[in-house]
Structure 1
Amino acid sequence: MDFEPTERQVYWRDRVRGFIEQHVRPNVPVYDEQDREGDRWKVLPIAEEMKAKAKEQGIWNLFMPPRNDSHHHVDDSFEFEGPGLTNLEYALCAEEMGRIGWASEVFNCSAPDTGNMEVFHRYGTREQKEEWLRPLMNGEIRSAFLMTEPYTASSDATNIETRIERDGDEYVINGRKWWSSGLGDPRCKVAIVMGKTDFEAQRHAQQSMILMPIDTPGVNILRHLPVFGYDDAPHGHMEVEMKDVRVPASNILLGEGRGFEIAQGRLGPGRIHHCMRTIGVAEEALEKMCKRLQEREAFGKPIYKHSVWEERVARARIDIDMTRLLCLKAADMMDKVGNKAAKQEIAMIKVQAPNMALRIIDDAIQAHGGGGVSEDYGLARSYANQRTLRLADGPDEVHARSIARMEFGKHAPQEGPSANALRSGPAPANDSDTMSSGDMGVAR
């Protein structure tokens, strides 16, 4: 097992790190100032300026999978590619992006666009790619992914009630979605909607995915949903009603009943991308905590010399490094044996990463005292963002269930009544068991 990064891994990581330190971090105050001015739902000039610079330097669309990706259904992908980083190579870059909330967008690597672009890349027709993937990859428009619903337990995506019904040369969409991340952005032009085309089919063959231009009549944004009071503008998370929304029949992805297949292709990489960025979030919180503890005194000595803080800082460093190793292992397995074979590792890192980051951010808040829960240090916002990730792309409980069932499958009893009961019971966990519609897709 070799823990030394390759020359290519270091090259891309350092390019991203260097760009962030040279261009993005110095402009955080400018971004914050532009964010505070005027309308909440707007395009921020500094972000567009940074995007143009990153694109010019070729640090762009880093998440796009290499050409040998086995999921391609149409062999015209060469026109729609990034630098072709592996999951492992991208993991190191995404960690750097995670250190500053809006850095991912600078490199056109923010959710939910990344997952949506992969869907177009893997499953889209030539026409769908030309219309939507090309402007997405150019950073000209943004997109949304509509899966979660307010009136169902969306941790089980088979509960989805949105209807997608064929009517001649069109499909008619009726339903309500929420936590539709990115719909607040004025550049958001298209959504991928998951709904049911056949309520009588087998449980995992009822669902389909369809492309819905946001300006289609009948698409009504009902309200914005803040997270712990943060609006996450200009990105935002919306509740949206679809009332007799008509789109061309050609907007269906892959065909009716293929929704779960597409969702698994999309959510595997998306889940781990969040985890990669989360490690950067945790590193940033630890850095702030260490600096703060050495700047302040209490009860006659610097705060960092109180033993409770030595324990907390040590635990933070251990937890970050352990989590990074698990994340890199999952990414490496995805590259070598595929997403399906790596599903237990993907589930494990999805549970571990946000919980780890939340503990460290919470300690960093404590170290900052009253300042920690204010807007001054960015820690409260980080906490709000990370707390959503225990729900987005599947809640902890769904992933823990999947992990446990795979573990039980490895150690089934060989004989006796209990073995027979196990064998005649539910089938072993498949990809569908980890499916959740909690795709809040927070762009971190």
Structure 2
Amino acid sequence: MRAIRLNLFVILTIFTLSAFAQTKVISNSFYFGTILNIEKFAGKEFRYSLDLKSTETDSLKNILIQTRQVINKDEFLEAHSKKDFVKDTLWHQINIIRKINLKAKEMWLYATFEGNGNFFADNLKFEVKNEDNNWVNIPIKNGDFENNGDNPLKGFLTSQKIPEGSTISLQNRTDSIKGKALLIKTTKATIGWKTNYGSNKPGGKYYNVNGIKIYYETYGNGEPLLLLHGNGQSIVDFTKQIPILAKHYRVIAVDTRAHGKSIDNSIAKLSYDIFASDMKVLLDSLNLKKINILGWSDGGNTALIMAIKYPEYVGKLIVMGANLNPTENAVEKSILNQLKKDLKMLQQKNDAESKQMTRLLFMLSTEPNINVDDLHTVTSKTLVLAGEKDVIKAEHTKLIASNISGSQLIIFKKETHMVPNENPALFNETVLNFLKQAEVKN
């Protein structure tokens, strides 16, 4: 089942990824933002603006405003951002002007500040152009920072905590505008580097698998651990797992065909059996068998098929949010209905990206078709995982676990299909504990 991205402001970190092996990370990055309902403005031009001023700047200075349109909790549209590189100490307005998508339900607006110095912000505005071609202001509570009382960011979504050495307050403007402005004062900023998993040339390679160039990256040493992502995902989605798991295992993270950086220019039908066969060929090229496999969502479906069809290749097996078939017995009805709508819409388009997505969603709507009796043949030590609020129904997850001899089952309380991203500490600890216990039992 498709791996779903939920309403998380941590998605901010994704916007900063570059095509280089590593991204510069400034330690005291701080953001605030808000979410607006924009359904009634569908198709109209919008303008998001913010007044900004900075003093005592240093080489780490960075001010960024961003917008993100959301269709529903499962689907985001392209994000837009704009940086302020002004070096003087005067007030400047920075803005983003775009059109509201016809299907968009929400608009996320936020601003990010990092580096050492004093950063002032004021008059956060969202405007929509009307039929007379005039900008009409859509009120944002406390957007002028005049009535926020003792809480300068009252009503806004913010970073989880204020960075060390930083303070947030309201200050009086000294220019002709007058009134109050937000002041974010930052110190103690340092530079670090973050590996761009999924775009890391030193760690990445291609291998020709059944006519398709499969991209994979390898990290760490020790017992091999293959990571298989979900539908519409890539290696990037294991960013919060790879550095932790690579401390204990030789992690092999793969972009399955038609995903990520893997090159697939064909129009052939996709299937989990093909994905499983691709992995077998890749593992043969690496002279590997009996390896550990962690499959999330569609990756879990592929992992189950590998354990059934190629048992000699699978050592310990972990599947998160997997399913045996795309029916209402397995998957929440709302997800299946949305899948049908998305597929119908994509089939009416003729561009290359839509055709590729049609292949993926068609597979999602018709597969997998794993016979529950085939699970009885799985001999791998297996851990079956899902979230209590998963798009895969709990009874279906329990069905999978109960038909794999000796398997363990964990349903994460209050968690969703996205627990590897939303609660990585819990997920990673669970995975490592299972792998270590399985080693001891061996």
Give the TM-score taking structure 1 as reference length.
Answer: 0.23
- Which protein has greater RCO, CA pairs closer than 8 Å, 6+ apart? 1
Q: Answer with 1 or 2: which has the greater Rg.
A: 2
